[in-house]
Structure 1
Amino acid sequence: MTQRGTRINTETGEKTDLGIRCAMPGTPEYEEAPPVVIVVTQEDFARLPVKPLEPHAGPAEGWLPVNMVNVLYTEPDTQLLTTELLGTPVAIRATPVSYHWDLGDGNTITTTTPGKPYPSEEVSATYTQEGWYDITLTTTFSGQFSVDGGEWQDIDGTIEVTSDPVPIYSKSLESRLVDGDVPVDEDEDPWIPERNPETEGPQDPNARHREI
């Protein structure tokens, strides 16, 4: 049996390599050899393919009126992953514990609740100006690991996983006189304009961070 030893300072995290020693089965060295302890670190956790959660924001059409409530939510599923350390199977459990929403206009929300679909407004925001915005969700996951089917143990530290942004257009609805006999020319006046530098939404001068 070959063993490699590592001493870890639990206060500083400093690791010291104690080298490798060999022990043949049936020898006193083999019987006296300490058991190999497998620990999953935050670095190990961060290297695993934890999937980002799917963010839901705004109506399905991809736009909402200025100052209309924008409902934000996600489904916080726990993920189970498997890996192998020192030839031993290890299961990893990644659990969402907090959610950070970046609304793209300077406003942000950090919450421990995943939110709920409309008509709930548990996690929500509004845009005060017209334009395109990207809504980005960053989820913080805590982790646990189980070695070869053993009891679950906590992983020290957490990881953050960012989802792909959700584009949404904040539309300013203004009344105007139109000729009811003339059909709307969607090519001339599209309801949702093409995204370009001129249609990007401006930053909110009163942007703030909220915790829910």
Structure 2
Amino acid sequence: MNPDGVGLGASATLPGSAPRPSAGGEAATVNAQAPRAPICDPTGRVCRDQFTVTGPLDGRGPITLSDLVNFRPLVQVHRVQPDGWSVVGLHTNFYTATVAQVQDDLLLGIPASVRFTPVTYRWDYGDGESATTQTGGRSWSDLGLDEFDRTPTSHVYTRSGTFDITLAVDFGAEYRFGEAGWIPIAGSVSVPANSLTVSASEAKTVLVGRECTARALLGC
């Protein structure tokens, strides 16, 4: 195993013979009756012949995030409650339904699966404040809360104004060849979500042309 990253613990089965050790110390089963020159990816880290690859073979280095050129995680729509507006001093709720996802494509020229799992959510609320959470949040109704209640991803604006809110989701990645176990890849992939714009107003201003919930909240 490479001390600087996750090793490519792997094996492969060719039609035939006894195990032979790889450069990384793993064993690969090879057919002595029909030896074939292996076909390697450009980096030489993963080689294959007519076999099912269950992991890397030669131990020249781990799979890294830069190898995932055919894979990219998707971030679901970033939403805000109330929709596009806020009351100064009250909680505005932000959330996204981004979940773990598995993609199938070629990894170093070999069919593989990559699983992306969201691990952190980095929110910039546009007013100089930011937050990092381990949850993407949920709507007030899904959480069983009333409007303007505090949530793990809500934010309180302390002044009126129009604010641009951004979200970046950091994903951990794992890969596997065939039906082998998942192997983690060091580091994370950051993907931006759509940006939002929120207009925050003082309570008296909100009474004009806003939803009934704001009126009820303010006792009108």
| Residue 56 (1) aligns with residue 86 (2) | no
Aligned with residue 156 of structure 2, among 123, 126, 131: 126
Equivalent runs, 1:88-107 vs 2, <5 Å: 88-107=110-129
| Residue 159 (1) aligns with residue 189 (2) | yes
Q: TM-score, normalised by structure 2?
A: 0.61
1:65 deviates by 1.6
Question: Which letter does structure 2 place at the counterpart of 1:45?
Answer: L
Q: Which runs of 5+ in 2 are unaligned?
A: 7-22, 24-31, 39-44, 48-55, 211-220
1:122 deviates by 2.2
Q: What is the aligned partner in structure 2 of residue 172 from structure 1?
A: 202
1:77 deviates by 1.2
CA distance in 2, matches of 1:87, 1:135: 39
CA distance in 1, matches of 2:154, 2:106: 41
Q: TM-score, normalised by structure 1?
A: 0.63
1:171 deviates by 1.5
Alignment deviations for residues 59-107 of structure 1 (CA, whole Å, 9 cap, x no partner)? 12x1122112111222131111122135421101000011111001110
2:186 partner SS: coil
Q: What is the aligned partner in structure 2 of residue 142 from structure 1?
A: 172
What is the root-mean-square deviation in Å for CA atoms of aligned residues? Answer: 3.3
Count residues in correspondence: 158
CA distance in 2, matches of 1:88, 1:82: 10
1:43 deviates by 1.2
CA distance in 2, matches of 1:166, 1:93: 28
C-alpha contact (below 8 Å) 2:93/2:139 kept by paired residues: yes
C-alpha contact (below 8 Å) 1:71/1:121 kept by paired residues: yes
Question: Which letter does structure 2 place at the counterpart of 1:91?
Answer: S
Q: What is the aligned partner in structure 2 of residue 11 from structure 1?
A: 4
Question: Which letter does structure 2 place at the counterpart of 1:81?
Answer: Q
Equivalent runs, 1:3-82 vs 2, <5 Å: 10-11=3-4, 26=33, 36=47, 37=56, 40-45=63-68, 48-60=71-83, 62-82=84-104
Moved over 4 A (4+): 25-31
CA distance in 2, matches of 1:29, 1:75: 48
C-alpha contact (below 8 Å) 2:70/2:107 kept by paired residues: no
Question: Which letter does structure 2 place at the counterpart of 1:78?
Answer: A
Q: Which runs of 5+ in 1 are unaligned?
A: 1-7, 19-24, 176-183, 185-189, 192-212
1:174 partner SS: helix
CA distance in 2, matches of 1:164, 1:112: 19
C-alpha contact (below 8 Å) 1:145/1:155 kept by paired residues: yes
CA distance in 2, matches of 1:74, 1:26: 56
